[in-house]
Amino acid sequence: MSLKPIAFYLPQYHVIPENDAWWGQGFTEWNNVETAAPLFDGHYQPHVPAAPLGRYDLRDPEVATIQAELARAGGIHGFCYYHYWFNGKKLLDTPLANLLASGRPDFPFCLCWANSDWTRIWYGQSKEILIAQEYSDAAARALIRDLAPAMADPRYIRLNGRPIFLVFQSELIPDALRHTDLWREEALRLGIGAPYLIRMESFCWDYDPRADGFDAACEFAPDFRMCGPLLSGDEQPRRVDYLTTARNMLAKPAQSYPRYSCVFPGWDNTPRYKKAALTFTGATPAKFAHFLRQASLRTIRDFPPEQRLLFVNAWNEWGEGCHLEPDVRHGDRYLRIFREVMESLEE
């Protein structure tokens, strides 16, 4: 199949010393997910993970095997792991380290550098910086040296022979053009090939990525500009309509630069933000199927077969109510819907 759906993958489900220090002993994303509660009539919280995974620990390599089996059966081509790298300091890297060391699972993957500072704001608290990102020529080269073993792995996703590499917030990089030049130079020196660079339109939109040396852009889903009117008025949490957002995203005008589509099954970051959350109401597997199909058709229309990447947010963003992994309410319905849409495109 020429269309290659890639799901973003959060590696936050295992204990690390830094999270112990910042958030309390034994903290993982599950702590937020399990303490979420409904805040209005019909509010779907908490999201409870279902078999065969349940509440998993990513230090267990068997979890990655089950995840890959589920994703492959659902029509997902590969995972895009968020990579937390701070001038040589890596956080939450156990899943990737296990993947590279063991050679299992045999499932395609790529990386997205989550290059913003770590602060408490992601959990509805202050902007206190827990660990800051640094940028320099030396750091740019060091990042590629660190990524080289992953990019050289035969499972790593390539486009026209080039390893794809995403950056979550390229607008934060001073002199981004110099960084992308250094990344390609170092990658070629190491013999892994010039990476195919994709900047994500997370908080900075409609900017030609080629001006900064990137090859393409990728939507972040949901695109918060496309939400339409608040359904909640002055009440908290804020509520917007899922289908309206999906339709608005599909109706965005084409750009002069390559931009990959991204879809999402739902969004509700109540576990992190409590009453300050943003909730997309009315999300259902059927509405997701419509969104997925239309975005897939647009990708097939706009890109040649060898470049048809489609991104999905996300495989396992449980803290944002944004996951394809099975939960108690829907079971594996989202994955079955995904497979049905992919198969319909092959007919």
Whether residue 124 is predicted with pLDDT greater than 60 in this model: the reply is no
Q: What is the pLDDT of residue 52?
A: 97
* Cα gap 87→98, rounded to integer Å: 21
Q: Are 183 and 143 in contact (CB under 8 A)?
A: yes
> Which domains are present in the chain?
4-346 (3.20.20.80)
Calculate helix-pair angle for 333-346, 61-73, nearest 10 degrees. Answer: 50
Look at residues 134, 96, 130 and name the one whose alpha carbon lies nearest to residue 22.
130
Q: What is the pLDDT of residue 206?
A: 84
**pLDDT tens digits along 207-233:** 999 999 999 999 999 999 999 999 999
* Cα gap 174→187, rounded to integer Å: 20
* Cα gap 312→8, rounded to integer Å: 6
* Cα gap 238→161, rounded to integer Å: 44
* Cα gap 301→2, rounded to integer Å: 12
Q: What is the pLDDT of residue 310?
A: 98
Q: Are 36 and 47 in contact (CB under 8 A)?
A: yes
* Cα gap 59→65, rounded to integer Å: 12
* Cα gap 338→344, rounded to integer Å: 10
Q: What is the pLDDT of residue 123?
A: 56
Calculate the average pLDDT of the chain.
96
Q: Give the list of residues 6+ apart from residue 300 with CB closer than 8 angstroms, or none.
A: 2, 3, 308, 345
Residue 119: strand pairing partners: 129
Q: What is the pLDDT of residue 121?
A: 59
Residue showing tokens 């997205």: 112
Q: Are 185 and 217 in contact (CB under 8 A)?
A: no
Q: Are 218 and 170 in contact (CB under 8 A)?
A: no
| pTM: predicted TM-score of the whole model, two decimal places | 0.97
**pLDDT tens digits along 24-38:** 999 999 999 999 999
In this prediction, residues 182-200 reach a mean pLDDT of: 98
